[in-house]
């Protein structure tokens, strides 16, 4: 049974100009066992009015874990504006884990991770989990961000990908000439996938990000000839 429990906010780290990593630990010190890809419901409760705001966030850390870590886009919405004022020691309520988007370490040895923006979170969790388990799948990460400095936990990502002997391609969708960005630009599409992942049909593909990103890439993979049963997707929003 999934229980809604008080969690203490133990760490706040600004990861990019728009994304902050929040770490929560259960007040009763229990750990959470989840499959990477799954999400938690995080609830803010106003002390004065009792009003609650709950939103879903994908775990970004490995499992099982004493703490839960989330990469959160600080968009100034109902919950994210509360989080923008949060302080270490604050209490939030969390129930977890939920969701059908689950990493299956036994599903295949060749993986394609397609991440859009904060949709990187479940893949960060999967990479950590793979390394914790001592597994060594062939991982290709295609990661779409708006601006060059939007790459979440770049050092950790590069370290894990290189430890696995995998490959990461970042594409920047809103590069401006002043950025002097030399890397890949533009939205991920079938042509970009075919260019960087010529063996895409041999891979199990996981997609996570905003609805338009997920839909476009699911269609692109199916268009290239990837069987639907080899595609797993999580849509936010």
Ligand X SMILES: Cc1cc2nc3c(=O)[nH]c(=O)nc-3n(C[C@H](O)[C@H](O)[C@H](O)COP(=O)(O)OP(=O)(O)OC[C@H]3O[C@@H](n4cnc5c(N)ncnc54)[C@H](O)[C@@H]3O)c2cc1C
Contact residues toward ligand X (CB under 6 A) are 39, 55-58, 70-73, 75, 77-80, 99, 118, 121, 234, 236
Complex with ligand X: residue 77 or 223, whichever CB lies closer = 77
- In which residue are the tokens 């750990």 written? 31
**Measured from the CB of residue 117, what is the shortest distance to ligand X in angstroms?**
7
**Measured from the CB of residue 24, what is the shortest distance to ligand X in angstroms?**
13
Beta-strand relationship, 167-172 and 184-185: parallel
Complex with ligand X: residue 56 or 190, whichever CB lies closer = 56
Token pair listed for 100: 């059908």
**Measured from the CB of residue 4, what is the shortest distance to ligand X in angstroms?**
16
CA–CA gap between residue 123 and residue 172 (Å, rounded): 18
In the chain, which ranges are E strands?
A: 5-14, 19-26, 39-45, 52-58, 67-73, 91-98, 110-116, 138-145, 167-172, 184-185, 204-209, 231-235
Asked whether the CA dihedral 200, 204, 206, 207 is positive or negative, the reply is positive
Complex with ligand X: residue 124 or 221, whichever CB lies closer = 124
Residue nearest ligand X (C-beta atom)? 77
**Measured from the CB of residue 225, what is the shortest distance to ligand X in angstroms?**
28
CA–CA gap between residue 83 and residue 53 (Å, rounded): 11
Complex with ligand X: residue 6 or 99, whichever CB lies closer = 99
């Amino acid at each position: 049974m999934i229980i809604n429990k008080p969690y203490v906010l133990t760490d706040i780290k600004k990861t990019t100009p728009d994304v902050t990593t929040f770490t929560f630990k259960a007040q009763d010190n229990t750990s959470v066992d989840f499959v990477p890809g799954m999400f938690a419901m995080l609830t803010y409760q106003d002390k004065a009015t009792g009003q609650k705001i709950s939103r879903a966030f994908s775990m970004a850390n490995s499992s099982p874990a004493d703490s839960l870590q989330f990469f959160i886009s600080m968009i100034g919405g109902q919950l994210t504006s509360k989080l923008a004022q949060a302080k270490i020691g604050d209490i939030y309520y969390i129930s977890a884990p939920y969701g059908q988007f689950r990493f299956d370490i036994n599903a295949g040895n060749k993986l394609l991770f397609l991440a859009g923006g904060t949709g990187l979170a479940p893949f960060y969790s999967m990479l950590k989990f793979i390394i914790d388990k001592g597994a060594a799948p062939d991982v290709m990460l295609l990661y779409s961000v708006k601006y060059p400095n939007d790459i979440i936990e770049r050092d950790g990502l590069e370290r894990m990908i290189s430890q696995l002997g995998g490959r990461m391609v970042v594409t920047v969708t809103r590069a401006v000439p002043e950025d002097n960005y030399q890397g890949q630009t533009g939205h991920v599409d079938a042509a970009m996938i075919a260019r960087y992942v010529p063996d895409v049909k041999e891979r199990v593909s996981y997609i996570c990000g905003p609805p338009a990103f997920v839909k476009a890439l699911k269609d692109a993979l199916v268009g290239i000839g990837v069987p639907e049963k080899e595609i797993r997707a999580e849509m936010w929003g």
